[in-house]
Amino acid sequence: MAGSGKTTFMQRLNAHLHSVKKPPYVLNLDPAVSQLPFTANIDIRDTVNYKEVMKQYNLGPNGGILTSLNLFTTKFDQVLEFISKRAPTLEHIIVDTPGQIEIFTWSASGAIITDAMAATYPCAVAYVIDTPRTTSPATFMMKWMTDFETFQQALQKDSSYMSSLMNSMCLVLEEFYKHLRVVGVSAITGAGMDEFFNAVDEAVKEYETVYKPELEKLIQKKAERQEDKKQAQLTKLMKDMDVTESSSKAGLIELLENTLSLADKRSRDTNYESKKEFDNHTGEDKNNATFVYV
């Protein structure tokens, strides 16, 4: 949520992990932030000038942030490369995201970033809500998120039109919030940080047992579809050329496989046309770190 204190919370996460001798790898994906209270290993502002993007494309603040992230995503393969080199020495990779939630709900760049990371590393998303917004039923105090009856009682005391809407939605909301982990944390004092990382550990277990198997199934199905498509193309080609000799078939198979392989490589290369070198890091390629998006 914009203005809820995500960057301040990031500073607390960073300080806490350093205090327990587990320094994280830090990414800043917010191009509009003026100052960071922590040092980022990779900062989008080093690559994309947010104000210049607004000027060149005649955009407002939200459009400028979205376009900046889209431009940055064209070289996100390099970000993943640097992360993979450092992964063996890391336990956590924390990411400060823009406050505009639409960037990660319907934006192509948000989907590319989250899917690319989740395909390799366990990921958890921390949705930050500031305390002033937790005082009315419409914005869900923590107790209301876990106690359906208390939530209904609070709604009955509220006569606004919003409470009428929330009352009609409360059964759905109860089911929705059953599957969320809620932790109270102070970004100022650091209270609740241990509970927060316990929730992250639980999310990692869920990733390994639920998300990862589903992802592997999707990858396998995609590979099977590609193989079926290749075989269909080969069959059609041999039929068109009336190929009967096994040696000719073998030659055609090799030719078609090389052609499809080249086409697949070109398709992957076009995903990242513009490339710029970041700071070099060293290490082995091993994926044992956990992403925490804020």
Q: What is the rounded CA–CA span in Å between residue 21 and residue 191?
A: 18
Q: How far is CA 96 from CA 81, 117, 275, in A?
A: 19, 14, 22
pLDDT of residue 236: 81
pLDDT of residue 53: 94
pLDDT of residue 259: 64
In terms of DSSP H, where are the helices of the chain?
6-19, 50-57, 61-73, 76-86, 108-118, 142-146, 148-157, 161-177, 193-206, 212-241, 246-269
pLDDT higher than threshold 60 for residue 276 = no
Architecture (CATH level 2) of domain 1-121+183-219+290-294: 3-Layer(aba) Sandwich (3.40)
Structure tokens at 88: 């063996």
pLDDT in tens, 211-268: 889 988 988 998 899 889 888 887 887 777 665 544 455 665 666 666 666 655 555 5
pLDDT in tens, 58-105: 999 888 998 999 999 998 999 999 999 998 999 999 999 887 777 777
The closest of 32, 40, 36, 47 to 95, measured between CA atoms, is 40
The closest of 120, 2, 109 to 53, measured between CA atoms, is 109
Where is pLDDT greater, at 274 or 22? 22
Specify the range with the lowest mean pLDDT, choosing from 19-28, 42-51, 74-83, 153-162: 153-162
Q: b vs e for 63-93, b when ≥16 Cβ sit within 10 Å of the residue's Cβ?
A: ebbbbbbbbbbbbbebbbebbbbbbeebebb
pLDDT higher than threshold 80 for residue 44 = yes
The residue assigned the tokens 């606004």 is: 160
Q: What is the rounded CA–CA span in Å between residue 99 and residue 7?
A: 10
Question: To the nearest whole number, what is the mean pLDDT of the chain?
Answer: 78
Q: Is the pTM of this model over 0.75?
A: no
The closest of 117, 183, 108, 88 to 145, measured between CA atoms, is 183
In three-state secondary structure terms, 182 is coil
> pLDDT tier at 178 (50, 70, 90 boundaries)?
confident
Q: What is the rounded CA–CA span in Å between residue 123 and residue 23?
A: 17
Average pLDDT of the segment spanning 195-216: 91
Average pLDDT of the segment spanning 115-129: 87
pLDDT of residue 270: 45
pLDDT of residue 143: 58
Where is pLDDT greater, at 158 or 12? 12
Q: What is the rounded CA–CA span in Å between residue 292 and residue 125?
A: 6
